[in-house]
Structures are given as C-alpha cells and as structure tokens.
C-alpha cells in the first residue's frame, strides 16, 4: 500500500493557493473516487482536445497519451501561444475589432501598441524524439519545467509518475495546467481564480429563478445554472422560461449541446454522471465553466472595443455642436449689449414727477424682463465654454479658440460696460425722483399739518364762548376748570405746530412752488384763528373761578348733611328690618329674650328723634342760601343720595312698626305655653310605654333561652305573653294621637323624654315580630319532634348547644361557630365533609346557620329514616327477587294511586331476559332519593 501523497501547487508571490490543494474526499490510498475520476478523465480529456485540435491532433487516453511527453509539450505550446494556429471565424472577427481599436488609439495618442507575445526566455525547448524511457522522462521534465517557469511550484508531481501512467498524478498535473492557463487570470472585482469565477457566475445568474450558484458541484446538478449563463449572453439560443427544474437531464443535455454547437465549447461533462453523483467533481465543473467564461469574455471585449470607438466619435461630434452653439450665443449677446447701452446713457430730465416715474418703470421692466434672460444666456455661455474646454482637454484635443471679438473676455468687457451704464442711469433716475419727491413732500406735509390744525381748532371758538358755568354745580364747575386747564395745555402744545406750518410755507415760497399763493392764504387764516382762541381762553378762566367760590359754601353744607344723614338712615333701615323680622322660636325662654331686646330698642327712640331734627335744620339752611343768591342750577347733594323726604318717611314708618312688634311677641308667648303642655303630655305616656316594651322583649328572650320543660309548656307561656301584648295595643294608639297633635303644632323637640314616636313604633313592631317568630319556632320544633321521633331531651340538648355557640346572640351561628358546635358534638370534620354539610344547612351561602336549619340537620343525622336501599329491598320482595317488576305485580301489591304513580314514572328495564313491559324499580328508587338523573 502506497503512502499518502498530496499534490500542492505554490506560486511565486509567496502564498499557497488553497484551491490547488486536493479535496478531502480524495482517496487516501492514491485512488480517486471512481465517480470523480470518471468525470475528471472525460472533462480534462475534452479540455485538452479543445486546444490540441488547433494543432491538428487529439488524445484518447489521458494517462497513456501524455506518457512520452510529446503531446504534453504540444498542449503547452498551444495554450501558451507559442504555436501559430488558424483562427476560427469568431476569433478572426474579434482579432479584426481589436486591430481596428488599436489602430484608432495609435492615431489619437501617436503611441505604438504594446507587444504581448511570450518572451524568448519562456519558450519550450524542442522535444526529444527517442522512444526510450529516458527520452520520455526528459520530455515530461521539459513540460514540468515550463509550468514551473510560469510561477507554479509543483510538489509530489514527478516525470516518472507521468511516464508510468499514474492516473492521479496525471490528472493533478492537467488540473494544475488548467488552473494556471484557464482560471488563474480570471479577475472579477479584485478577486481571482476560483473566487473570481464563482463571483462571475453568481453575477450572471442572479436574475434567474431557481438558480443559486454557491459552489462548483451541487449548484450545477439541475442544469439551470448552465442554461442561465447561455441565456444571459445569447438569449437567442434557448428560452429559459420553458425550462423545468425537475428535468435536470434535459437541462444539462440542452446546455451541453448548445455550448458545443454554437459556442465552440466541447462537451466535457456527461449529464448522467452529474445527476447520479451526489456531489459532482468540482474540478470538472470548474474546468467546463471556465470555458464559458473565456468564450463570453472574448465577445464582451470585442463589444467593448466597438463601443469605445463609437463613444470617442460621439464625443467629437458633441464638441463640434458646442463650438457652433457658443459662436451663435456670443453673437446674439454682443448685439443686444450694443443696442441697449445708448438707451442707458441718455440723461435727459423730465419736468414732472409722472414722466420721471414712467422712466423709472421702463427701467424696472428692463431689469425684470429684458436683462434676466440675457444674464442667463451669459452664464450659460460661460458654462458651455468651460464644459467644452474640459471635454477637449480630457480627450487630448486642442483648446477651442472662438472667433475674433467673441472671446469670453470680450463678452465680459462688453457686459461690464453695460453694467456701468446701467448703474449710472439708475443713480440719475433716483436723484431726479428724490428732488421732485422732496418738493411734493413739502407741499403734502403743509396740507396735512394745516388740515390737522384746522380739524383740531374746529368748534373751539364756540366752546370758549359758552356760559355753561352759570347753571353748573360745584362739581361740574371744578370739572369745567380741570377741562379748561387741559385745553390751555393743549393750546400751548399746538403753538409749535402753528410755527411749523409757517416754516413750511416759507420754504415752499423759497423753492418757488407752483401753487404758493394758496399756501400763503391758508397759512394766514390759521394764524388769525390762533390769536382769537388765545383771547377767549383767558376770559373763560376768569368766569369759571368766580362761580366756583360761590358754590363752595353750599358744598360745605351738603357735606355736613351727608355725614349725618347716612348713619341716621342706616339706623332707621336696620330698625325697620328688626321690627319686621320673622322670628321662629321653640321655647318660652326664646320669646322672653326677644321681648327684652325690643324694650331696649324703644328706649333709644328719643335720642334718634333729636338727630332727625338736626338733619332737617341743615337742609333748611341750604334752601335759604340758594334762594338768597339766585342760583339757577338744579343743585343736588354730591355726598349723599338720601333726600330729606326719604328720611322723614322712614321715621314715620319706624314709629308705626314699634306697637306692631309688641303685639306679635305677646301672641307668640301664648303659642309657646300651649306647645309646652303638649310636650309634657306626650312625654308622660312615652316614658311608660318604652320601658314596658323593653320588659316584654326581655321576658320573650328569657323564654327562648330556657331549656327545661316541655315544648307545649313553652308554647303556652308564649301564647299568654302574646295575649298581654295584644291587649296593650290601645296605649300605643293613644300615644299616636298625641304625637299627631305635636306634629300639627310643628313641635320637633321634647326635652322631657328620650323616646320618640319612631322609637316606640320600631320597638312595638319588633315585639310583635319576635313573639310571632318564637311561637313559630316552637311549633316547628314540635312538628319536627313528632315527625322524626326525637325526644324532648334531645331537643333540649340541641337548643343548649345552639345557644352556647350563638356567641352574638342573634339567633344564628356563623361558619366558625357552627364548625365548633359540630366538633363539640363529636363530628370528625374534614374540609370536604364540612362543605357538604354547609350546603345542607346554608344552601343560599349566606354564611349563617339558623336554629331551624340546625334542628333539620340534627334530626336527619339522628332520626331513623328510610333509605334508597331499603326501598329497593322492598320492591325486590314484591318482585319475587327478580331484578325487575311487572305492571300486574304493582297493581296487585300496591294501592291503585301508588301503583299508577310507579307505572307512570318507573323506567323500562334494559337488562337481559326480561319480558316486555318489565320496569326498573332500582333506578326508580334511587331517583326518589336524588341519587340518579331520572
């Protein structure tokens, strides 16, 4: 057995090409996987023959035909370009396009094309023609040395193995040649060799459905990847949309046949081998795919060369169009500048503002409408010129020289002259307009100020001539004085405005304003009015001051009247409110308090009458002064809204209300005495009935708690108590009558008793309810005892236990007390059992157990009752031990009603061996006690 041999290829750049290593699946005993070896033999043989055909030969057996080294050297000469071969039609076309492209570049750049042929030092030596073994080894060594000279370091591949026909070494050597001459130079986006080829395949097949190239083995098994490569470059050769992923054999054969027939790619793979192999040989697939790459890459290079020629010619044509466009735009722009400049240099002034405004509007139209398009043309012209020069420089063409006078600098100079003329024209227009605006502004300013002053002065003479102060009060006189002072301040402030109006009129006279006569006439009218207003102002001030002194005396009297009348009026209003106030009292003491307060009020009346007389005297003094000095004004006291008539009327009303208040208080005193008698009468009865009801309740409670004695004795005692209670009912009715009288008299409190009618009613109703409930409980206990056969002693024990655990004494036990009671009576309770008992005694889930529920439960637990089993046993006796019973038997053994009842409700017997009409007495019996669903 041979030791493991690895085939490794190293390149001169210092890194080890991982894709030149043998795959892990290679046989460790120098043997390839049989399927892979078959694929590699066929693929490598076809690849070698695709090149050897150019030299007019081929191989049949790859490990035998390369043993002498001759065809191996011939193969290297063909693929390295040392052997001249006749080109095919497609390669001739490509060579022709490349030659045209190179010739065009020589013309443009005046540089010779580089030479890409092999150097003399890389050529293969001539082979040895001998047939001896050492001749064969020498030839193979020459081939291996040539491969090594191409930058490949061969490890573990020797000439002896090739000469001896070692299949693995021969295939490894051919794979090395394929990698170096067919795959290594593939470069796609800075990736080379296997990665570059894989990336190229991924890019080309990306748009196609059901194609996902991730490797060079299983990604190609269905044949769609090969068909996608062909369709991407030659869509005329196949219709990809009709391919089926589930037909890999058809897809592969279609791709191989088209590649061989139309792309000059020999059929290197066998479709059946690829399909039947779980993982096709990666080297075989890569070799075949590289042929597609080289076939399509050559066509793309030819197309690229043709496109580049067209692009260069297109750039040249575009440059010529730009030159012609520049000449046209430059001529039109210079002509417009020559026409526009004289218009801007015209400085003929106009006489009116309207005409100057028209010139300014024409200039603005020029700025808005005429100039902007020309600015755009000038900008576009410069852009076109710069773009043209850039394109010429990039394409190695001489710079463009425009016609004389149409250089960019010539256009810029003409444009600068236009801008200067435009600036001067605008400044001249604005200066003239400002001069006319100044003159119009002064005239308009004079008109505005004169109008404002005339508006202010309008009506002022009439106001100053009025004698409104003769009928004014003191407050109004003082207000008129303040108003007059404000007018005097306003008049002084307008002094400056009058002076400004005169100054503007003077300036208009100096500037020789065309309407100066109207200005002077209006100015003189304003000055005359101003003098008259000053005289009238002084006269009015003197009259106002004289009238003010006359009214101040009367004002002092009004002030005194206001100071004294207001408190007196307030006192009378308060007194009237108190005398008319509605009082609500409930006791005699409250009425007595009101009578005492009224007596104190009557004692203050003499002093109040003296104050009234003093206020009347002040009023009379004011009337005397008004009549003596003949004051025409309707004088009203500004310090008080109270008149002497109001004060006198209120005083008269107070004197009438005093005796009315006395009568009302005495009447209320008699009412309170009557209410007190009703309170005492009700309290006397309530204080007897309340304790009586409480005593009866205690007696009933003691009777319920007593355990000894027979239930019949307890019933007799309760009946006697009930008779006593019913006989007491008239006392309750009489108390109700007294209570009705109290309510009709609106008496709501009673200090003589703590009992209210509501308390008595509730106590009486509770007493009746309690006695009735206790009598009912005793009757129920008697019925239960008699029905269940419970002795009096057991009943007493039940009562004793219930009373003991009724801790709240409310006639019921809560859940915890009931549990404790059952435990004390010997019950062993779990949670499930206690829950079952609670469902029996408290079906409504109130959480409380009444005495009756307790008695019912205890009687069920202690009494001798019938069960479902006992009833079933009885029926079995009637049926003569049969599991069913017949209708005749029921009618014979039971009364008619009971027999028909059983026949109506007893279900049919479903067991075996029963005659028709047999009835199931077992199901019927269990249903009677709730133990079935019947």
pLDDT tens-digit map of 793-816: 777 777 777 777 777 777 778 888
- Which segment of 379-388, 669-678, 798-807, 884-893 scores lowest on mean pLDDT? 798-807
pLDDT at 97: 45
List Cβ<8 Å contacts ≥24 apart for 335-342: 336/374, 337/414, 337/415, 337/417, 337/418, 338/414, 340/366, 340/370, 340/418, 341/417, 341/418, 341/421
Name the residue among 567, 558, 577 with its Cα closest to residue 607.
567
364, 430 Cβ separation under 8 angstroms: no
Query: Largest alpha-carbon pair distance within the chain?
Result: 176
* DSSP-assigned states of every residue in 574-598: HHHHHHH------SHHHHHHHHHHH
pLDDT digits (tens, 9 = 90+) for 601-617: 888 888 888 888 888 88
926, 932 Cβ separation under 8 angstroms: yes
| pLDDT(632) > 90 | no
The more confident residue out of 461 and 929 is: 461
pTM of the predicted structure, to 2 decimals: 0.34
pLDDT at 211: 93
| pLDDT(109) > 50 | no
pLDDT average, residue stretch 694-719: 75
pLDDT at 250: 92
Query: Cα separation of 173 and 7, whole Å?
Result: 9
Query: Cα separation of 379 and 409, whole Å?
Result: 13
- Whole-angstrom CA distances from 173 to 107, 125, 145, 161, 401 are 45, 19, 12, 10, 64
Name the residue among 58, 23, 28, 29 with its Cα closest to residue 44.
58
The more confident residue out of 506 and 121 is: 506
* DSSP-assigned states of every residue in 513-547: -TTHHHHHHHHHHHHHHHHHHHHHHHHHHHHHHHH
185, 213 Cβ separation under 8 angstroms: no
Query: Cα separation of 400 and 706, whole Å?
Result: 139
- Which segment of 201-210, 531-540, 864-873 scores lowest on mean pLDDT? 864-873
pLDDT average, residue stretch 101-130: 51
Query: Cα separation of 292 and 288, whole Å?
Result: 7
List Cβ<8 Å contacts ≥24 apart for 608-611: 608/568, 608/571, 608/572, 609/651, 611/564, 611/568
| pLDDT(17) > 70 | no
Helices 408-457 + 353-365 axis angle, to 10: 140
pLDDT at 32: 59
Owner of token pair 């092999």 = 118
Determine what percent of the chain is predicted with pLDDT higher than 90.
5
Q: 153 - beta bridge partners?
A: 10
3, 145 Cβ separation under 8 angstroms: no
721, 696 Cβ separation under 8 angstroms: yes
Name the residue among 86, 21, 79, 87 with its Cα closest to residue 52.
79
Query: Cα separation of 623 and 621, whole Å?
Result: 5
pLDDT at 236: 92
pLDDT at 254: 92
Task: For Cα atoms 813, 819, 824, give the angle at the middle one, nearest 5 degrees.
Answer: 105
pLDDT average, residue stretch 716-721: 84
Task: Tell me the CB-side half-sphere exposure of residue 345, using CA atoms within 13 A.
Answer: 9
| pLDDT(175) > 70 | yes
Q: Predicted confidence band at 439 (pLDDT cuts at 50, 70, 90)? A: confident
The secondary structure of residue 395, as a DSSP letter, is T
pLDDT at 87: 46
pLDDT digits (tens, 9 = 90+) for 176-188: 888 777 777 676 6
Q: Predicted confidence band at 215 (pLDDT cuts at 50, 70, 90)? A: very high
pLDDT average, residue stretch 280-303: 80
Q: Predicted confidence band at 9 (pLDDT cuts at 50, 70, 90)? A: very low
| pLDDT(408) > 50 | yes
Q: Predicted confidence band at 253 (pLDDT cuts at 50, 70, 90)? A: very high
Owner of token pair 């003769």 = 470
pLDDT at 747: 78
* Cβ contacts of 531 within 8 Å, gap of 6 or more: none
Name the residue among 857, 822, 829, 832 with its Cα closest to residue 843.
857
Q: Are strands 848-850 and 812-814 parallel, antiparallel or unpaired?
A: antiparallel
The more confident residue out of 224 and 440 is: 224
Taking the C-alpha atoms of 415, 419, 420 and 421 in order, what is their torsion angle to the nearest 10 degrees? 100
* DSSP-assigned states of every residue in 685-752: HHHHHHHHHHHHHHHHHHHHH--SS-HHHHHHHHHHHHHHHHHTHHHHHHHHHHHHHHHHTT----TT
pLDDT average, residue stretch 548-566: 83
Identify the three-state secondary structure at position 761. Answer: helix
* Cβ contacts of 78 within 8 Å, gap of 6 or more: 51, 52, 54, 55, 85
Q: Predicted confidence band at 212 (pLDDT cuts at 50, 70, 90)? A: very high
pLDDT digits (tens, 9 = 90+) for 372-386: 998 888 888 888 888
Residue 41 burial (C-beta neighbours within 10 Å; 0-12, 13-18, 19+): buried
């Amino acid at each position: 057995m041979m030791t493991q041999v690895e085939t490794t290829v190293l390149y001169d750049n210092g890194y080890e090409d991982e894709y030149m290593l043998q795959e892990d699946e290679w046989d460790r005993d120098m043997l390839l996987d049989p399927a892979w070896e078959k694929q590699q033999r066929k693929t490598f043989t076809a690849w070698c023959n695709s090149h050897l055909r150019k030299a007019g030969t081929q191989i049949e057996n790859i490990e035998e035909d390369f043993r002498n080294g001759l065809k191996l050297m011939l193969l290297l000469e063909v693929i390295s370009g040392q052997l001249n071969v006749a080109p095919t039609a497609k390669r001739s076309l490509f060579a022709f396009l490349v030659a045209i492209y190179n010739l065009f570049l020589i013309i443009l750049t005046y540089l010779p094309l580089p030479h890409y042929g092999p150097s003399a030092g890389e050529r293969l030596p001539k082979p040895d023609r001998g047939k001896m073994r050492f001749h064969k080894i020498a030839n193979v060594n020459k081939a291996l040395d040539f491969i090594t000279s191409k930058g490949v370091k061969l490890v573990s591949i020797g000439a002896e193995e090739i000469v001896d026909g070692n299949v693995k070494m021969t295939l490894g050597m051919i794979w090395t040649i394929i990698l170096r001459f067919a795959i290594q130079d593939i470069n796609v986006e800075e990736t080379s060799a296997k990665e570059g080829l894989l990336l190229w395949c991924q890019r080309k097949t990306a748009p196609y459905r059901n194609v996902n190239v991730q490797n060079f083995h299983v990604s190609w098994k269905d044949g769609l990847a090969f068909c996608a490569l062909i369709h991407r470059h030659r869509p005329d050769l196949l219709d990809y949309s009709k391919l089926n992923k589930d037909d890999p054999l058809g897809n592969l054969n279609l791709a191989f046949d088209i590649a061989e027939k139309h792309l000059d790619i020999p059929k290197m793979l066998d479709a059946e081998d690829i399909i039947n192999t779980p993982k096709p040989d990666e080297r075989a697939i890569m070799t075949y795919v590289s042929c597609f790459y080289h076939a399509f890459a050559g066509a793309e290079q030819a197309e690229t060369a043709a496109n580049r020629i067209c692009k260069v010619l297109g750039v040249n044509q575009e440059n010529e169009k730009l030159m012609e466009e520049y000449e046209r735009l430059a001529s039109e722009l210079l002509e417009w500048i020559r026409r526009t400049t004289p218009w801007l240099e015209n400085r003929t002034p106009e006489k009116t503002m309207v005409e100057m405004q028209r010139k300014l509007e024409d200039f603005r139209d020029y700025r808005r409408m005429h100039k902007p398009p020309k600015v755009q043309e000038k900008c576009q012209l410069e852009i076109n010129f710069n773009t043209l020069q850039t394109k010429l420089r990039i394409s190695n063409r001489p710079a463009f020289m425009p016609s004389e006078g149409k250089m960019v600098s010539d256009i810029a100079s003409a444009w600068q002259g236009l801008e200067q003329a435009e600036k001067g024209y605008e400044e001249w227009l604005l200066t003239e307009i400002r001069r006319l605006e100044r003159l119009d502004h002064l005239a308009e300013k004079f008109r505005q100020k004169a109008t404002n002053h005339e508006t202010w002065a309008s009506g002022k003479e009439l106001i100053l001539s009025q004698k409104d102060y003769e009928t004014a009060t003191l407050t109004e006189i003082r207000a008129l004085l303040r108003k007059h002072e404000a007018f005097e301040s306003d008049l002084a402030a307008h002094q400056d405005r009058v002076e400004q109006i005169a100054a503007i009129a003077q300036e208009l006279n100096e500037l020789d304003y065309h309407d100066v006569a109207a200005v002077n006439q209006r100015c003189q009218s304003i000055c005359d009015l101003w003098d008259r207003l000053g005289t009238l102002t002084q006269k009015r001030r003197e009259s106002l001051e004289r009238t003010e002194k006359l009214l101040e005396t009367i004002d002092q009297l009004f002030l005194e009247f206001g100071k004294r009348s207001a408190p007196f009026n307030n006192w009378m209003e308060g007194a009237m409110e108190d005398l008319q106030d509605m009082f609500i009292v409930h006791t005699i003491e409250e009425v007595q308090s009101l009578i005492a307060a009224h007596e104190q009020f009557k004692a203050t009346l003499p002093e109040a009458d003296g104050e009234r007389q003093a206020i009347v005297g002040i009023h009379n003094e004011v009337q005397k002064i008004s009549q003596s000095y003949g004051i025409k004004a309707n004088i009203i006291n500004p310090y008080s809204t109270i008149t002497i008539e109001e004060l006198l009327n209120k005083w008269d009303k107070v004197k009438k209300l005093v005796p009315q208040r006395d009568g009302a208080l005495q009447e209320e005193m008699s009412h309170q005495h009557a209410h007190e008698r009703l309170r005492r009468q009700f309290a006397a009865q309530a204080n007897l009935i309340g304790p009586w009801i409480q005593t009866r309740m205690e007696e009933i409670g003691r009777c319920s708690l007593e355990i000894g004695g027979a239930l019949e004795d307890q019933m007799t005692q309760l009946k006697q108590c009930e008779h006593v209670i019913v006989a007491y009912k008239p006392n309750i009715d009489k108390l109700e009558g007294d209570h009705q009288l109290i309510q009709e008299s609106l008496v709501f409190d009673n200090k003589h008793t703590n009992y209210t009618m509501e308390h008595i009613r509730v106590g009486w109703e509770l007493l009746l309810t309690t006695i009735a409930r206790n009598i009912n409980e005793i009757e129920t206990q008697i019925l239960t005892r008699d029905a269940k056969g419970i002795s009096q002693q057991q009943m007493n024990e039940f009562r004793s236990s219930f009373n003991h655990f009724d801790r709240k004494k409310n006639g019921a036990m809560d859940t915890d007390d009931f549990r404790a009671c059952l435990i004390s009576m010997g019950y062993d309770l779990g949670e499930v059992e206690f829950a079952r008992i609670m469902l029996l005694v408290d079906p409504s889930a109130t959480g409380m157990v009444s005495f009756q529920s307790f008695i019912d439960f205890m009687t069920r637990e202690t009494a001798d009752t019938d069960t479902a089993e006992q009833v079933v046993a009885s029926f079995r006796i009637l049926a003569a031990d049969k599991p069913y019973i017949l209708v005749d038997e029921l009618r014979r053994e039971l009364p008619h009603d009971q027999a028909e009842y059983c026949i109506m409700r007893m279900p049919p017997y479903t067991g075996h061996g029963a005659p028709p009409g047999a009835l199931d007495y077992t199901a019927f019996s269990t249903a009677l006690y709730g133990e079935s669903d019947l």
